[in-house]
């Protein structure tokens, strides 16, 4: 008789422990709440000419910088530690030097001087953001008084305007480079930059595409600055200016096969944007192209954060500006008669997308 081996009792199944669930912490809120610490440290360093001074010295100790900046040792040490922690300075052997970013963008007089934007934000936008709740409750800008001014640019402070236009040129130059890489302008010949400011986009695009010719359309006081900048860069053979008001003028200048609207539509309400896109369509020849460069919101308006927060900035800066969604831009372009609408992602401080559309070619 075969021997029967007893079947061992099944061991109880080990109960798997639930995955550890991280409890929420206030760290993200702390970072949000103290975000202004970073900005104000940067703004103070720019106002004290820290980076420009250090560029001249090459490198310096804290004691040497205290003397150069006319500061006491204690606050000097704190400012240097803060700027080093933010990646603006490099500390080696008890001496400091500018980081690559600071040397490139925060030394006054350099081609891509970004300090103007820092100063503009600190002196103009930052105080207005203190009144954000007022803007939310009243639906009115806080950087200027719409009851007594026609726009935010009517100001007695020429320094603020100079900082603003210098900042816009720097930001737009890098966005223009991103656009030049992302979109092929080979088939385009004449560009109209609507509200083109001091000409950052045309200068960048015409350098990248030497065959391209461009026109900057803006108010007379702005085109005067654009002509100076264009001439200084040696591009007046390729870029011209046109004095005008793209909102008030009944039509846009013709003779261009591509129209650019860069960070323009977020300044205005939907009706104004629809009317402007209709003008673009009318000014273009059959087969012509319009390009919208903006920080575009996702269709569900859940982000990205730069686009959403720029929308709040439009609340404090404009009467009716807004950062709009892909679907809204697509709808307006279709309504204006454009077809073949595509979105090209951009990685730039001034825009996250270029929306490209075409006027139907003649058959």
pLDDT confidence of residue 147: 85
Better-predicted residue by pLDDT, 114 or 1? 114
Whether the per-residue pLDDT at 303 is higher than 50: the answer is yes
- Annotate 158-181 with DSSP letters as a single string: HHHHHHHHHHHHHHHHHHHHHHHH
Residue 266 DSSP label: G
What digits encode the pLDDT tens for the residues 235-291?
Answer: 999 999 999 999 999 999 999 999 999 999 999 999 999 999 999 999 999 999 999
Q: Hey, where are the domains in the chain?
A: 35-105, 171-359
User: In 3D, which of 244, 248, 211 has the Cα closest to residue 226?
Assistant: 244
Q: 309-332, pLDDT tens digit by residue?
A: 999 999 999 999 999 999 999 999
Joined tokens for residue 109: 């007089």
Tell me the Ramachandran region of residue 254: left when phi exceeds 0, alpha when psi lies from -120 to 50, beta otherwise. Answer: beta
- Rg from Cα positions in the chain: 27
The pair of three-digit structure tokens given for residue 303, joined into one six-digit string: 């982000």
Cβ 291 vs Cβ 356: under 8 Å: yes
Q: What is the mean pLDDT of residues 31-46?
A: 96
- Tens digits of per-residue pLDDT, 82-137? 999 999 999 999 999 999 999 999 999 998 899 989 998 998 899 999 999 999 99
Q: Which CATH number fits domain 35-105: 3.40.1160.10, 1.20.1250.20, 3.40.50.300, 1.10.10.10?
A: 1.10.10.10
- Provide the pLDDT for residue 300: 97
Q: Which residues are catalytic?
A: 266
Does the structure show a pLDDT above 90 at 69?
A: yes
- Whether 58 shows a pLDDT value over 60: the answer reads yes
Query: pLDDT tier at 157 (50, 70, 90 boundaries)?
Result: low
CA-CA distances (angstroms) from residue 296 to 314, 322, 343? 13, 10, 10
Topology of domain 171-359, CATH: Rossmann fold (3.40.50)
Q: Report which DSSP code applies to 18.
A: P
Residue 68: closest CA among 82, 81, 80, 50:
50
Mean pLDDT of 337-352: 95
In 58-202, at which residue ranges do the beta strands (DSSP E only) sit? 60-61, 89-92, 95-98, 190-194
Query: pLDDT: is 171 or 102 the higher one?
Result: 102
Pull the structure tokens for residue 356. Answer: 């490209």
Of 163, 165, 233, 228, the closest CA to residue 204 belongs to 233
Residue 10 in tokens: 């099944």
What pLDDT score was predicted for residue 20?
65
The C-alpha atoms of residue 274 and residue 268 are separated, in whole angstroms, by 10
Residue 179 above 80 pLDDT? yes
The CA distances from residue 95 to 59, 72, 74, 107, in Å, are 6, 17, 16, 18
């Amino acid at each position: 008789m075969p021997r029967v081996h007893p079947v061992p009792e099944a061991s109880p199944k080990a109960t798997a422990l639930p995955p550890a669930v991280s409890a929420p912490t206030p760290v993200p809120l702390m970072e949000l709440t103290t975000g202004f610490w970073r900005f104000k440290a940067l703004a103070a360093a720019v106002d004290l000419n820290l980076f420009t001074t250090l560029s001249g010295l090459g490198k310096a100790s804290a004691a040497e910088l205290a003397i150069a900046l006319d500061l006491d040792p204690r606050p000097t040490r704190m400012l240097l530690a803060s700027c080093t922690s933010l990646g603006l300075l490099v500390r080696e052997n008890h001496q400091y030097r500018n980081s690559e970013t600071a040397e490139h963008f925060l030394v006054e007089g350099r081609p891509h001087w970004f300090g103007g934007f820092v100063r503009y934000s600190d002196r103009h936008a930052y105080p207005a953001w203190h009144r954000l709740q007022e803007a939310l409750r009243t639906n009115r800008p806080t950087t200027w008084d719409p009851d007594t001014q026609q726009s935010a640019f009517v100001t007695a402070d020429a320094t603020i305007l100079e900082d603003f236009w210098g900042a816009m040129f720097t930001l737009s130059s890098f966005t223009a480079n991103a656009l030049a890489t992302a979109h092929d302008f080979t088939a385009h010949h004449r560009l109209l930059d609507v509200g083109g400011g001091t000409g950052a986009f045309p200068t960048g695009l015409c350098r990248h595409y030497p065959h391209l010719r461009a026109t900057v359309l803006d108010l007379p006081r702005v085109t005067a600055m654009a002509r100076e900048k264009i001439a200084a860069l040696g591009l007046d053979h390729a870029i011209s200016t046109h004095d005008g008001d793209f909102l008030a003028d009944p039509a846009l200048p013709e003779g261009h096969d591509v129209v650019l609207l860069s960070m323009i539509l977020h300044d205005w309400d939907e009706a104004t944007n629809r009317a402007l896109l209709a003008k673009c369509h009318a000014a273009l020849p059959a087969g012509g192209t319009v390009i919208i460069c903006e920080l575009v919101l996702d269709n569900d308006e859940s982000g990205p954060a730069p686009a959403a927060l720029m929308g709040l900035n439009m609340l404090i800066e404009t009467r009716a500006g807004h950062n709009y969604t892909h679907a809204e831009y697509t709808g307006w372009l279709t309504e204006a008669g454009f077809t073949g609408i595509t979105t090209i992602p951009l990685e730039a401080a001034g825009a996250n997308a270029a929306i490209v559309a075409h006027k139907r070619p003649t058959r």
